[in-house]
Chain A
């Protein structure tokens, strides 16, 4: 994958500046500032309710940010700038901005009335309106890539959780996103199925995909990520390369959390 590593400053894929998200009076995100550069794999860890999912959902606009600014691939999320004014985007423009990100959900959310192949082909066919033959052959290739070439005609109910999640990854990849978001992709899986999904994610990371992964799999974070961020109570408490953050955390709260999850 060719990447524009210019001598000038590299434009980050995600740039978040002091973003905040309120649900009623409750502030789920309390000022997140963060850059994710192309090819980076950022793992986000943290206790339940710390705002990890909310952060991911703001990036692809499943939630709207209350305050602060967020750029994805150089575009200001949710707004169009005209002179000195920021115009809120229409529904269709938001849908277009979402094309830059792919999302993988904890509960897979495959379309149950479509086969595995149709799940993968749906977006390119209906949203991008690309030619059918081309889309189908590419969808087959993607299913092969996640190890499910033989399950193309299976409906989601006929697949195991791990297989469903791998189809979901293929479905997101079919849109050629610039960035992949994973929200606890393995926490709904039986332990013996976790490995197959992590393997797919690892090969995706190796291929140079920019990824933000919310996960409880510390081993995965240690091995695959280029950076780990620890979140608590709507803030990033600290972040750093996995060897540093996971082995020698600076903050007491990070230490407590790691002690609890690593047992």
Chain B
């Protein structure tokens, strides 16, 4: 209902400025968000209950504090981070190469790329880790006969098996992300690049990929986060990542929950740092897109 003094300024029709209604004496009441308020309260209550449960549960918090900076845990954390970065780097490199091959006019390249993606996306990563680690059962020696050979069991350390297993698997996933990114770039950009004489690979590197990055980075960031946690699978092949080291400690002292909490805290820290880096990177590649900052 319109109160009489808020009725549309019909009087304005007669042109006088005084005919406009003065609304300065009216009180401004901000919109109320009852839904938000009640949800926030519910969440806070739930969190409080959860914290009480953990505080009263059979958790010795001083052990958590103690093991948070234990040498073995920190070494594990370092290995986890190092492996995540290396496996992701390998995955991105393979992913870009595979995506470019997949979109090539050359059928041999294109079908090889399809085969790779099919094989490594189609099998569980833990199976791939075990296969790499046990490669010696298929290839007892590696190298070029007569020039250099080595026993596979010596070469295929837990580190290398994990790197190959996670990196190559990641490459298969990343290639699809990169392919989507390349396809998202307007066909006119390829033509403009060609028109100034760019060969295909140069055009991809200088013109197409930088534009595809805007589409590629969010899902790759997502996969990076996944990778940090995926490294924990490598404990099955004795790679000394954080969870593996935490397990070794609780096998000895039986402080299972405490050590799991320690590992959980460090995973959260690592992932948080990664997310921050991702936002920065997105902002860099948003240049010229008309969006000032990347959406969070």
Contact = CB atoms under 8 A, between A and B. Distances in A.
A62 interface: yes
Contacts of B238: none
> Interface size class for chain A?
20 to 34
Nearest to A181: B195
Contact of A96 (B197, B202, B206): B197
B198 A127 contact: yes
A223 B248 CA distance: 86
Nearest to A154: B288
B290 A98 contact: no
B195 A113 contact: no
Given A91-B200, A156-B288, A107 B188 contact: yes
B189 A126 contact: no
Given A127-B202, A157-B289, A62 B195 contact: yes
B89 interface: no
A7 interface: no
B191 A62 contact: yes
A95 interface: yes
Given A126-B206, A156-B288, A157-B289, A111 B192 contact: yes
A98 B288 contact: no
Contact of B199 (A92, A101, A103): A92
A195 interface: no
A99 B207 contact: no
Contacts of A95: 194, 197-199
Given A98-B194, A105-B188, A112-B289, A91 B211 contact: no
B197 A98 contact: yes
A88 B193 CA distance: 22
B206 to A, nearest CB: 6
Interface of A: 60, 62, 91-92, 95-96, 98-99, 101-103, 105, 107, 109-115, 122-123, 126-128, 155-157, 168, 171-172, 174-175
Interface in B125-163: none
Contact of B202 (A101, A114, A126): A126
B210 interface: yes
A157 B288 contact: yes
Which among A60, A62, A95, A168 has the highest number of chain B CB atoms within 10 Å?
Answer: A95
B288 A103 contact: no
B192 A105 contact: yes
Contact of A91 (B191, B192, B199, B285): B199
B188 A99 contact: no
Given A127-B202, A157-B289, A113 B197 contact: no
B289 A126 contact: no
B23 interface: no
Which among B192, B200, B285 has the highest number of chain A CB atoms within 10 Å?
Answer: B192
A207 B195 CA distance: 22
B288 A123 contact: no
Nearest to A112: B288
Contacts of B189: 109, 111
B196 interface: yes
B15 to A, nearest CB: 34
